[in-house]
Chains A and B, each alone.
Chain A
Amino acid sequence: MRPPPLLDVHGLTMRFGGLSAISDLSFSAGQGEITAVIGPNGAGKTTLFNCITGFYRPQVGRLVLHHPDGSALGLETLADHVIARKARVARTFQNIRLFPRMSVLENLIVAQHRVLMAASAFSLAGLLGLGRYRRAEHAAIDLARHWLDRTSLTSFADTEAGSLPYGHQRRLEIARAMCTRPLLLCLDEPAAGLNPRESGELNQLLRGIRDEEGIGLLLIEHDMSVVMGISDRVVVLDHGNLIAEGSPAEVRGNPAVIRAYLGEPDEPAVVTGAEG
């Protein structure tokens, strides 16, 4: 029933000094699915993202990304920019990381750096003003315009990214990630700081990305309305361990999850392996 896996996480362990942020974590995220990673603060969610996107190198475990052509890449050994380029994993950040002094459009063009760089032969063709580069740049602008439309930012295209309101910046970061044409989009708390209307629009945007682009989405989220509203699968972490995995409905009723969130001092704290 489940779609083919896009990302397989096997036995992932990440330690900082003596502290295990993630221990022996395994799960998979499917293609064309929205997988939410939830858990209390300090559960290891952002660390997981940083391992997937190559900002941290895990001590143990494998992260396999399956491409539609059947090839597979082990992310655990690749450098961050190689993961973004070759494995086509894009991400957003918990504290938005735009290029604040560049315009909105420039942010989206920079995201297409690799394509433009190839078309311009490391900028040489561009320096000489060759047509090949000009065509590539037009294509890049078209893609940027598409995502500006999708995120309703078209009218802000030429303003400085840093001067946009918070909610717009969040959307711009998603648009920028999409301009890299990813297979897997990792969103770190995309709804944080959004008002209910904005968060509703975000749900629509994310669903649209899943349905129209057919890519996999992995998101960390605290806002349960977002998690329950749009995710196909939910992965619950606590203290670096997987405590539940399944559909939103299954997870919602899972006693281990309730315990992790509310705490139950009489019960033993660690409950593992509640497979959905």
Chain B
Amino acid sequence: MEDSSPPLIRSAALAALLAALLALPLLGVRLVDSANGLSLSGRPELVAWAAGGVFCGRLIIDLFRRWIRDFSIRLPVPPPPPEWTRFGVGWALALFALVLPFLPFADRNLVDKATMVLIYIMLGWGLNIVVGLAGLLDLGFVAFYAVGAYSYALLSMTFGLSFWVCLPLAGLFAAAFGLALGFPVLRLRGDYLAIVTLGFGEIIRIVLQNWQDLTGGPIGISGIERPSLFGLSFKAVPPEGQTGFAEFFGLNYSADHRVIFLYFLILALALATNLFTLRIRRLPVGRAWEALREDEIACRSLGINPTTIKLSAFALGAMFAGFAGSFFATRQGFISPESFTFIESAMILAIVVLGGMGSQIGIVLAALLLVGLPEWFRDLQMYRMLAFGAAMVLIMLWKPSGLLSSRSPTIRLGGRA
């Protein structure tokens, strides 16, 4: 093994050289904007850091690989967990989510962040119907989220409808949008479909940005009505004719009540999405979605009309995005086109794909990883998206079919699944 160590150093050195070259123009030199035009300032130390980092990284990876090979170590491949663990983990997570706001360490901040994570979990579960089950790559999912948010905001501002009336309406609008967009494009091949949906997502955003009269343009809509619990308001001073939540239950008013209420609201919405998906997977439509993902031609030969099946997946996914959107609007009290950019679509898609396409719990893990973790490192905001992009690539390289990609049949011959 002695004689093969120079190549090890050499390959690391080559990688370092490459990194230095790549970094040279972009890291090594910085464009400085000053009063008399652009000038440059050198930062050779950053290039050296990049090269050094890559050198060490490459060396460590190579050594690790060689070590595995030389000692013929097999990295343990965990067997797919038995059914009951998945089931158990699911229940445990749900239970934990239920008691979270009442745990001692749960302050307002944490509950707020958990609410954010839950929005993405719900969006992930919604998109999972489209991408994970039906295998339709949708890069414009955020459009339906936006439709839901704007429908709620506009309905409530214009007609004074309450959140509980608007919620189903927003879902229906989003689903209708899904049908309208889906009908022409769903016969396209997978990657073309991806680009077209991305285009639609952008169109919706551009329209929101420019249709000033309706959407308020780039400024957006603010002062959106907050939800109430069966008519119990969460405001410090309830509006005329309404009772305050705190007053009704004989509590002292606290702004935390609303935060906790919103948390439970999105938890309920997300769990409803999950239950729906689990149930529909076992029904003819759900099985047809999966069959379509596996082989469309075979589906057609069995008399399944691919268009209707795809449309149903597209519309249902959109509907859940619509629900999530109207929740988002009511939670923020303010929406603008900026919340509905392509990056959001990419984020939701990444959650579904990293979770392992079709796995409900995988999506929870991925959302915690991609949304939850970065929320705690807000100070590193700048590096957040950088790490996010890198994580997408690395996880794909490591597990091209996602973190949890095993699948359990929806029906068994012995007993019902």
| B18 on interface, CB distance cutoff 8 Å | no
| B414 on interface, CB distance cutoff 8 Å | yes
| B240 on interface, CB distance cutoff 8 Å | no
CA distance A108 to B185 in the complex (A): 29
Determine whether the beta carbon of B412 is less than 8 Å from that of A105: yes
Determine whether the beta carbon of B283 is less than 8 Å from that of A120: yes
Contact with B along A94-123 (1 / 0, CB 8 A): 000111111101100111011011001011
Determine whether the beta carbon of A113 is less than 8 Å from that of B300: no
Closest 8 CB pairs of A and B: A85-B303, A84-B303, A99-B294, A157-B413, A103-B409, A97-B298, A126-B283, A116-B284
List 28 A–B pairs whose Cβ atoms lie within 8 Å, in order of A's numbering: A81-B299, A81-B303, A84-B300, A85-B303, A97-B297, A98-B294, A99-B294, A100-B295, A101-B407, A103-B411, A103-B412, A113-B287, A113-B288, A113-B291, A114-B303, A114-B304, A117-B288, A120-B283, A122-B285, A126-B284, A127-B279, A141-B411, A148-B413, A154-B413, A157-B412, A158-B409, A158-B414, A180-B302
| B355 on interface, CB distance cutoff 8 Å | no
Determine whether the beta carbon of A106 is less than 8 Å from that of B283: no
Binding site for B on A (CB under 8 A): 53, 55, 80-82, 84-85, 90-91, 93, 97-103, 105-106, 109-111, 113-114, 116-117, 120, 122-123, 126-127, 133, 137, 141, 145, 148, 154, 157-158, 176-177, 180
| B27 on interface, CB distance cutoff 8 Å | no
CA distance A41 to B286 in the complex (A): 40
CA distance A114 to B309 in the complex (A): 12
A105 to chain B: closest residue by CB:
B413
CA distance A101 to B299 in the complex (A): 14
Which residues from chain B contact A111 at a C-beta distance below 8 Å? 302
Say whether, besides A106-B411, A158-B414, A123 and B290 are in contact (CB < 8 Å). Answer: no
Determine whether the beta carbon of B284 is less than 8 Å from that of A106: no
Determine whether the beta carbon of A113 is less than 8 Å from that of B283: no
Say whether, besides A99-B290, A126-B284, A113 and B298 are in contact (CB < 8 Å). Answer: no
B290 to chain A: closest residue by CB:
A102
Which residues from chain A contact B302 at a C-beta distance below 8 Å? 81, 84, 90, 110-111, 113, 176-177, 180
Which residues from chain A contact B411 at a C-beta distance below 8 Å? 103, 105-106, 109, 137, 141
Which residues from chain B contact A105 at a C-beta distance below 8 Å? 409, 411-413
Contact with A along B360-386 (1 / 0, CB 8 A): 000000000000000000000000000
Determine whether the beta carbon of B304 is less than 8 Å from that of A109: no
Which residues from chain B contact A85 at a C-beta distance below 8 Å? 303
**B window 298-327: CB within 8 A of A:** 298-306
Determine whether the beta carbon of A158 is less than 8 Å from that of B412: yes
Determine whether the beta carbon of B287 is less than 8 Å from that of A81: no
The SS class assigned to the B binding surface is helix
Determine whether the beta carbon of A90 is less than 8 Å from that of B301: yes
B205 to chain A, nearest CB (A): 33
Among B286, B298, B410: residue with most chain A CB under 10 A: B298
Binding site for A on B (CB under 8 A): 276, 279-280, 282-288, 290-291, 294-295, 297-306, 407, 409-414
A92 to chain B: closest residue by CB:
B301
Determine whether the beta carbon of A99 is less than 8 Å from that of B298: yes
Determine whether the beta carbon of A106 is less than 8 Å from that of B287: yes
Q: What 10 additional pairs, Cβ within 8 angstroms, besides A110-B304, A113-B303?
A: A53-B301, A81-B302, A91-B301, A98-B294, A101-B290, A103-B412, A106-B410, A120-B283, A127-B276, A180-B303
Say whether, besides A97-B297, A98-B295, A101-B407, A109 and B303 are in contact (CB < 8 Å). Answer: no
Which residues from chain B contact A117 at a C-beta distance below 8 Å? 284-285, 288
A181 to chain B, nearest CB (A): 10
A124 to chain B: closest residue by CB:
B283
B309 to chain A: closest residue by CB:
A113
A64 to chain B, nearest CB (A): 19
Determine whether the beta carbon of B409 is less than 8 Å from that of A123: no
CA distance A154 to B413 in the complex (A): 9
B307 to chain A: closest residue by CB:
A81
Determine whether the beta carbon of B295 is less than 8 Å from that of A97: yes
B294 to chain A: closest residue by CB:
A99
Which residues from chain B contact A148 at a C-beta distance below 8 Å? 413
Which residues from chain A contact B297 at a C-beta distance below 8 Å? 55, 93, 97
B410 to chain A: closest residue by CB:
A106
Determine whether the beta carbon of B301 is less than 8 Å from that of A101: no
B358 to chain A, nearest CB (A): 9
Which residues from chain B contact A158 at a C-beta distance below 8 Å? 409, 412-414
CA distance A98 to B299 in the complex (A): 9
CA distance A200 to B297 in the complex (A): 29
B106 to chain A, nearest CB (A): 35
Say whether, besides A84-B303, A103-B409, A123 and B291 are in contact (CB < 8 Å). Answer: no
Among A98, A106, A122: residue with most chain B CB under 10 A: A106
A119 to chain B: closest residue by CB:
B284
Which residues from chain B contact A157 at a C-beta distance below 8 Å? 412-413
Which residues from chain A contact B294 at a C-beta distance below 8 Å? 98-102
Determine whether the beta carbon of A109 is less than 8 Å from that of B287: yes
A90 to chain B, nearest CB (A): 7
CA distance A90 to B282 in the complex (A): 24
B156 to chain A, nearest CB (A): 29
Determine whether the beta carbon of A123 is less than 8 Å from that of B285: yes
CA distance A144 to B250 in the complex (A): 61
Determine whether the beta carbon of B298 is less than 8 Å from that of A127: no
B289 to chain A, nearest CB (A): 10
Which residues from chain B contact A180 at a C-beta distance below 8 Å? 302-303
B211 to chain A, nearest CB (A): 35
Which residues from chain A contact B301 at a C-beta distance below 8 Å? 53, 80-81, 84, 90-91, 93, 97, 177
CA distance A4 to B407 in the complex (A): 47
Which residues from chain B contact A145 at a C-beta distance below 8 Å? 413
Which residues from chain A contact B413 at a C-beta distance below 8 Å? 105, 141, 145, 148, 154, 157-158
A248 to chain B, nearest CB (A): 28
CA distance A140 to B341 in the complex (A): 45
Among B286, B290, B409, B412: residue with most chain A CB under 10 A: B409
